Amino acid sequence: MATSELSALRNLVLPLLEAGGTVPIVQLGHPVLRRPALPFDGQLDDAELAALLELMRRTMHAAPGVGLAAPQLGIPLRIAVLEDSFETDTETAAVRERAPLPYFAMINPGYAPVGPRTAMFYEGCLSFAGFQGVVERHRTVRLDYRRPDGSAATEEFTGWPARIVQHETDHLNGILYVDKVLTRSLAGDDEYAQRWSEPGIGRARAGLGF
| 3-state per-residue secondary structure call for 59-79 | HHHHCCCCEEEHHHHCCCECE
Average pLDDT, rounded, for the chain: 97
* pLDDT of res. 45: 97
What CATH number is given for 3-208 in this structure? 3.90.45.10
Q: Strand locations in 139-191, DSSP E?
A: 140-146, 152-158, 187-188
- State the Cα–Cα distance between residues 140 and 114, nearest whole angstrom: 5
Q: Is 87 a catalytic residue?
A: no
CB atoms within 10 A of CB 22: 17
| Catalytic entry in 48, 156, 168, 191 | 168
Task: Mention every residue, 6+ apart, whose C-beta is less than 8 A from residue 146.
Answer: 40, 106, 107, 108, 109, 152, 153
State pLDDT tens for residues 99-153: 999 999 999 999 999 999 999 999 999 999 999 999 999 999 999 999 999 999 9
State pLDDT tens for residues 31-41: 999 999 999 99
State yes or no: 167 annotated in a binding site. yes
- State the Cα–Cα distance between residues 58 and 46, nearest whole angstrom: 18
State yes or no: 30 annotated in a binding site. no
- Which residue ranges make up each domain of the chain? 3-208
- State the Cα–Cα distance between residues 127 and 33, nearest whole angstrom: 9
* DSSP label of 198: S
DSSP 20-60: -S--PPP-TT-GGGGSPPBPPSSSS-HHHHHHHHHHHHHHH
